Chain A
């Protein structure tokens, strides 16, 4: 089921009175947050983390970038937790630092180059080995590779899909929280819910970006 939703739906909604002030505020803040230089990671670690995140959730160079690595850095620098961690893992900050070392170590052992020098396919192979907990490297003797990958992937996914631009792509408009929802059964849509277009259809059918003055 490959579908497209029109671009700009969430941004357009945020400019209407269909969204409560509380909701508008958090979403606009996320939409317009400028990238921050890292506070928790070193510059080198941060670039490596960005590269990894771009393999986990690829973003095209031309698109507005959702700052996944920055979100992770922000949480760690503020020492925030999501309420639990696997007992087999060190504290979150240590896990990330160790894990990044491990990624480069595995890259060196498999391809004799640091991770960032590898081709996309080679990078994916390194990550796949880590996900399957078969990656070579001493780091993984102290840090369960599979769990490290799982935690990183979930946090990256969480940050990415909390962003209004990513929510727009999947056709989510639940943030329109002023009106009630009356058409809730199967195949019933409210006027504010975007219709999808089947993939393979004409690209010309893709609506253009709606006017979003706060982005300018």
Chain B
């Protein structure tokens, strides 16, 4: 790996190495830029550092305490956070459906929420590129959305017990299902600059870290590609300050490494720390907030799960957890809400299942032990649905300080009427599916997943933090690339879109730099 000196002025510092930072890092490095990625967490070697044990894998979560407020306080840690080279992709489920074109124009279609400042045509080529590069496994044809120009890189992964049960129930109800698209390999895969990755072992542990590189987390895909092209990854570097010059441009990034403060001079900064930490860093530094919108427009997908027990032996720890999908509920007929959702079968690791059962059902004593004993016979379905922005949902800095002495973020979240109506709709459908499939002891785990928003992208500098290129309206050499910029939450899991947007942001940046260079003539730089 190349190393740059902190006294050298490099081209770009990228803060964060998850789905927002890693693809862009590789793109900028490939274009010949001198790039350094600062990552708060460690650079793991999954083969030796990761155990098949949920508790010890909690090291992949962002465990600095966040304060969850509102009527539906959002859990963090295992949900909605990540740390380490690869960010939260280290423990994402690798569910990679594309957004549909109408997801990007919620306001046009429903008069609520926000449109994206560009259309699906701007994302589609990047979806295709990311899917091919990661080796996404999926069906051909895929039954929903615009016709794909190219099939998924690999055929679908095998369907596990939960997927079979959902298929069984949906068939009886006339709901169309399909093998889902997952960024985990159904066969060995080779990519230039990355090397060979093996097929998925069906270990079912995506949410606690893949040990063999079959799942396309960033540390085994875009990060090695970036390093191949000359990028430096600086792990365990926690960014605290962005320093401006007299003209207001960021000229230096200050971070803590090994307990020492270090500084990196640079020409551009790409902030890719995720919805919470991106907004928090900007608020801490009082930067890029002339709109007053940083921390606002916070959204979180509706994510209700319905669990049931079956006579069949399910063994829910096997296979890709999200094996089956239906997007028949993308824009349901006669719906009393804006937007829509997808349905997903879910396998589950034991600790996750039993802990959330204790939380949601409040079971304890012998009752809890009896319910836990049914673990091998449980299967779940969950939804992933759109969420509107509301004034009452936002992030602020609390007075309380964390271990580093920095204010903790406080996140307010309450589902609005739209989310409640959507969740009710989904609750009925999922219970009907499980009834048809023969489930007993059905129970609901209400939740919201994927925190989104806080640094909205848009065309109006009074209502958005960055423009359609991800560039700050206030600070021209500051860019944001992560789920904080999403103008709307979308009705699909966000990771694929974050990656696609990351590549688009890099390409638009490189294009505008080339244009500037051409205009200023060869004598400059």
Contact = CB atoms under 8 A, between A and B. Distances in A.
Interface of A: 1-3, 19-23, 25-27, 30, 55-58, 79-88, 124, 127, 131, 149-150, 153-154, 157-158, 161-162, 167, 169-172, 174-175, 177, 180-182, 184-189, 193, 196
B410 A2 contact: no
Interface of B: 48-56, 58, 61-69, 73-78, 81, 158-161, 164-165, 201-205, 211, 309, 311-315, 317-319, 349-351, 354-355, 358-359, 362, 364-366, 368-370, 372-377, 403, 410, 440
Given A172-B376, A185-B164, A57 B368 contact: yes
A162 B49 contact: no
B202 A181 contact: yes
Given A87-B410, A181-B318, A26 B76 contact: no
A166 to B, nearest CB: 8
B349 A174 contact: yes
B55 A153 contact: no
A1 B349 CA distance: 20
Contact of A186 (B48, B77, B211, B313): B313
A81 B65 CA distance: 6
Contacts of A174: 52, 203-205, 317-318, 349-350
A144 to B, nearest CB: 12
B75 A84 contact: yes
30 contacts: A1-B377, A2-B373, A55-B364, A56-B364, A57-B369, A58-B365, A81-B63, A82-B61, A82-B77, A83-B66, A86-B68, A87-B67, A149-B362, A153-B364, A154-B355, A158-B351, A161-B355, A162-B53, A169-B373, A171-B376, A172-B375, A177-B201, A184-B202, A184-B319, A186-B164, A186-B313, A186-B314, A187-B312, A189-B313, A196-B313
Contacts of A1: 309, 311, 373-374, 377, 440
Nearest to A87: B69
A79 B365 CA distance: 28
B355 to A, nearest CB: 5
B400 to A, nearest CB: 8
Among B62, B318, B359, B362, the one with the most A-chain Cβ atoms within 10 Å of its Cβ is: B318
Contact of A184 (B69, B318, B372, B410): B318
A180 B188 CA distance: 14
Contact of A154 (B48, B202, B317, B359): B359
Given A86-B68, A153-B359, A184-B161, A177 B52 contact: yes
Given A1-B374, A184-B160, A150 B359 contact: yes
A173 B309 CA distance: 19
A184 B158 contact: yes
B313 A83 contact: no
A193 B202 CA distance: 14
B63 A161 contact: no
A148 B269 CA distance: 43
Contacts of B315: 184, 189, 193
B73 to A, nearest CB: 6
A26 B57 CA distance: 10
B56 A26 contact: yes
A179 B258 CA distance: 38
Nearest to B412: A87
A12 B492 CA distance: 42
B374 A23 contact: no
Contact of B201 (A21, A181, A188): A181
Contacts of A171: 375-376
A99 B202 CA distance: 42
A82 B63 contact: yes
A158 B350 contact: no
A186 B312 contact: yes
Nearest to A170: B375
Contact of A58 (B64, B159, B313, B366): B366
Nearest to A157: B358
A113 B61 CA distance: 42
Nearest to B370: A2
